[in-house]
Amino acid sequence: MSDGNVSPAPGFYRDDGPRRGLAAWMMSTDHKRIGIMYLAALTLFFVVGVTIGVVIRLSLLAPGKLLTAQHYDQAFTLHGIIMIFLFIIPGIPVSFGNFFLPLLIGARDVAFPRLNRLSWWLYLAGAGVIGASLFLKGGPLDTGWTFYAPYSIQTRTQVSFAVVGVFILGFSSILTGLNFVTTIHRLRAPGMGWFRMPLFPWTLYATGWVQLLATPVIAISLVFIFLERFFGMGFFDPTKGGDPILFEHLFWIYSHPAVYIMVLPAMGVISEIVPVFSRRTVYGYKAVAFSSVAIAGVGYLVWGHHMFTSGMSDTARVAFSLLTFLVAVPSGIKILNWVATLYKGSIQVDAPLLFALTFIFLFSIGGLTGLIIGSLAPNLHVHATYFIVAHFHYVMFGGAGMAFFAGLHYWFPKMFGRMYAERTAKIGWLLLFVGFNLLYFTMFVLGLEGMPRRYFDYPPRYFTAQTVSTVGSWILAAGVLVILGNLLRALFRGRPAPENPWGGLTLEWGTTSPPPAENFTEIPVVSNGPYSYD
Amino acid sequence: MPQPVGAESEARTGAAGAKLGMWLFLFTELLFFGGMFLLYAVYRSRYAAGFHAAAAEENTVVGACNTALLLTSSLAMALAVAALRRGRTRFSILAQAATILMGIGFLAVKYTEWMAKIGHGLYPDSPVLLQRSHGEVLFFGLYYVMTGIHGLHVLIGISLIAVTLALTARGAITAERATLLENTGLFWHFVDVVWIYLFPLFYLVT
């Protein structure tokens, strides 16, 4: 931009406290600074995760040339651990949630600012321990991100340290959830009843409860692995009477609800963007709000669908399958309501909406294929194939990942006080969209044809589809580069952003861009719902 | 200025907010222990005979003494909070000290119990234990893990009470600003409640 030398007002970026530079950030309890630091860390880990993903795809082009079988196992494990525990689970809540929850509900900060800072430190510590585990005795772990027993008990790779790292990350996640739930209960602005609260906080509220009530279960499961490796109690060892399937249960009792930790806040971001860019009140506000809570509630009870082939009674299988179908209903309600909001709206297709629409499209594919997997008979056919890999990448990347990009483009002007180049953002989106579908839709086909997941090699008949998928990964990576490059450039050279570039009506758009340290000079009084366009 | 802003938010959250946060934390603790109780339930139903044989080896009298100790410590903690609310700081300090002492006593008894078992060669993965049936192996594995993690919580509780004791003595915790002591009390009672379940599961139900 030609006027790149004009700087926006410093807002909360100005160091007012006794500290300067890095210390002023690391020691800050300002939710906005913590949110920005998380955002930087998440983006970094996302890029690392994508890079490993591209290397995995590259290896599949000619198995054995780039990675040995052992290195391949370690690569997909690391890809999973980074993407899941360091990027997508903390993801939207710690970045946009931290930055915007207080702004959206008219508060000056979260309920426990110092606890929030502790969460951030724990996140860094967890990431550090996982990072260190890669270089310690045994080398990077090769169990897959699920740490299934007996792999995780018997492997000589460095599982113990990695498990400690994930445990610490779990603590960080719990404290964030605790903080947000309390914040929403205690710090809503005067006049903001529950049903005048924007929908993103609603999803953060539901997510907070899932974080609180599910994360401890993986914490104890990880403790079991750790103790098992050092003391050998035999909880999951059949030779001592233990049962490895019990570990799978414990693991999924957390890790399925964790899917909703990843996707609920993403849905919240979409619920913020769709009304703003169609200039309409959200269709069926209460239905969207309650569906978040319903997803969180029912989401607890479906973990067994990961284990249909592991050995379970038929009664349990039927019950889990039924509940899996049930949890799709509130998701369907959300999709319907977003589309109904767009209907007859004055739609303006800027980058944030483009990403939001992509979320709706890709998440629908991910969700509907989820029903195929959730049915007992087809599950037998596609279990542990590329079909599953495709499904969860559509839900996680096509869902939560796209929402992350949508939120990034939507709130970028507010967070950094600068505008990005709209055209470049759209080019990046196009590359990402095309690359994504080439990469992952091909996997649906491969999976139906019987290609198992996590295999290092494959018969020649899969070669064409594997190649298409790998080429897709290059286009996707190019898209990510264009998108992030565009934003990085805007960070330094973008023209200053106005207070409210999109015409949003929620409270964050009433502050300066970037917001001042105290958010609001006076705590606003709320007298109507969040999206009063009509 | 970030620091005062945060402080103001914390002030607006208030004592009720801090209490809510503590309850939420206790929910997470409940589910953390829940994972262990789940294992216990599954293996007990699968190996009822082995569990029966192993539980018979626990010393019920020692376990009962420890239960009495921990329950009384909870009483002392409750008295400490009640006394502080009435402004009787000295009594509160004494009651907190008594809580700590009883907590230490509990851990000491637990230590001797563990040492006696280890002395008999009964510890996870030991040659003696692996000679026994699956049910007994798992029972003692669960015994060490569950009482061990519970003991760790007792230790954390003791440390927390040591902090509140010092703060009460320095006048930082008062009748008007008692939230930290109340929350510490909640934690201590939670640890106590967990033991109330552990005691019958490992000592009484044979």
Whether residue B3 lies inside any domain: the answer is no
How many Å apart are CA B109 and CA B113, to the nearest integer?
6
How many Å apart are CA A355 and CA A313, to the nearest integer?
42
Confidence check: pLDDT of A5 > 60: no
Whether residue B5 lies inside any domain: the answer is no
Confidence check: pLDDT of A418 > 70: yes
Contacts with A42 (C-beta within 8 Å, 6 or more apart), sequence order = A86, A87, A90, A91, A94, A95, A404
Taking residues B120-124, what's their average pLDDT?
92
Confidence check: pLDDT of A27 > 90: yes
Looking at the DSSP bridge assignments, the partners of residue A496 are: A418
Note the pLDDT tens digit of each residue in A77-96. Answer: 999 999 999 999 999 999 99
Whether residue B60 lies inside any domain: the answer is yes
**pLDDT > 70 in chain B, percent:** 94
User: In this predicted structure, which of A140-154, A391-405, B6-20, B135-149 has the lowest mean pLDDT?
Assistant: B6-20
Q: Indicate yes or no: CB of B35 within 8 angstroms of CB of A250.
A: yes
Q: Is A30 on the interface with B (CB under 8 A)?
A: yes
Q: Residues of B numbered 135-194 whose beta carbons fall under 8 angstroms of chain A's beta carbons: which are they?
A: 135, 137-138, 141-142, 144-145, 149
Note the pLDDT tens digit of each residue in A461-510. Answer: 999 999 999 999 999 999 999 999 999 999 999 999 999 999 999 999 99
Q: Indicate yes or no: CB of B142 within 8 angstroms of CB of A233.
A: yes
**pLDDT of amino acid A15:** 81
Confidence check: pLDDT of B4 > 50: no
Average pLDDT of every residue of chain A: 94
User: In this predicted structure, which of A62-66, B6-10, B170-174 has the lowest mean pLDDT?
Assistant: B6-10
How close is the nearest chain B Cα to the Cα of A519, in Å?
9
**pLDDT of amino acid B3:** 40
Q: Is A264 on the interface with B (CB under 8 A)?
A: no
Structurally, chain B folds into a number of domains equal to 1
**pLDDT of amino acid A378:** 94
pTM above 0.90, yes or no: yes
pLDDT band per the 50, 70, 90 thresholds, residue A311: confident
Q: Is A174 on the interface with B (CB under 8 A)?
A: yes
B171 in the Ramachandran plot: left (φ > 0), alpha (ψ -120 to 50) or beta?
Answer: left
* 8 Å CB contact between B6 and A109: yes
Q: Testing the interface with B: which of A176, A230, A235 to mutate, by most B Cβ within 10 A?
A: A235
Confidence check: pLDDT of B7 > 70: no
**Domain membership of residue B194 as a residue range:** 16-204
**pLDDT of amino acid B8:** 55
User: The domain spanning residue B144 has which CATH number?
Assistant: 1.20.120.80
Q: Testing the interface with B: which of A178, A205, A239, A255 to mutate, by most B Cβ within 10 A?
A: A178
Note the pLDDT tens digit of each residue in A368-416. Answer: 999 999 999 999 999 999 999 999 999 999 999 999 999 999 999 999 9
**pLDDT of amino acid B9:** 55
Taking residues A507-519, what's their average pLDDT?
93
Token digits of residue B170: 């320095």
Give the residue among B59, B64, B67 at the shortest CA–CA distance from B206.
B59
Q: Is B35 on the interface with A (CB under 8 A)?
A: yes
pLDDT band per the 50, 70, 90 thresholds, residue B10: low
Structural domains in chain A? 33-510 (1.20.210.10)
Q: Indicate yes or no: CB of B32 within 8 angstroms of CB of A29.
A: no
Q: Is B125 on the interface with A (CB under 8 A)?
A: yes
pLDDT band per the 50, 70, 90 thresholds, residue A16: confident
Q: Is A220 on the interface with B (CB under 8 A)?
A: yes
Q: Is B55 on the interface with A (CB under 8 A)?
A: no
pLDDT band per the 50, 70, 90 thresholds, residue A424: very high
Residues of B in contact with A217 (CB under 8 A): 31-32, 34-35
Q: Testing the interface with A: which of B12, B24, B47 to mutate, by most A Cβ within 10 A?
A: B24
Token digits of residue B99: 């809580």
**pLDDT of amino acid B1:** 34
Angle at B141 between CA B135 and CA B146, to 5 degrees: 120
Q: Number of C-alpha atoms within 13 angstroms, CB side, residue A82?
A: 25
Q: Testing the interface with A: which of B36, B38, B39, B118 to mutate, by most A Cβ within 10 A?
A: B39
Contacts with A315 (C-beta within 8 Å, 6 or more apart), sequence order = none
User: In this predicted structure, which of A17-21, A141-145, B120-124 has the lowest mean pLDDT?
Assistant: A17-21
pLDDT band per the 50, 70, 90 thresholds, residue A1: very low
Q: Residues of B numbered 82-101 whose beta carbons fall under 8 angstroms of chain A's beta carbons: which are they?
A: none
Taking residues B184-199, what's their average pLDDT?
97
Whether residue B48 lies inside any domain: the answer is yes
SS3 A299: helix
Note the pLDDT tens digit of each residue in B54-110. Answer: 999 999 999 999 999 999 999 999 999 999 999 999 999 999 999 999 999 999 999
Give the residue among B71, B90, B80, B73 at the shortest CA–CA distance from B178.
B80
**pLDDT of amino acid B12:** 64
A384 in the Ramachandran plot: left (φ > 0), alpha (ψ -120 to 50) or beta?
Answer: left
Token digits of residue A429: 């989106």
Taking residues A437-445, what's their average pLDDT?
97
**pLDDT of amino acid B18:** 92
Taking residues A3-28, what's their average pLDDT?
80
**pLDDT of amino acid B205:** 86
Amino acid at A520: F
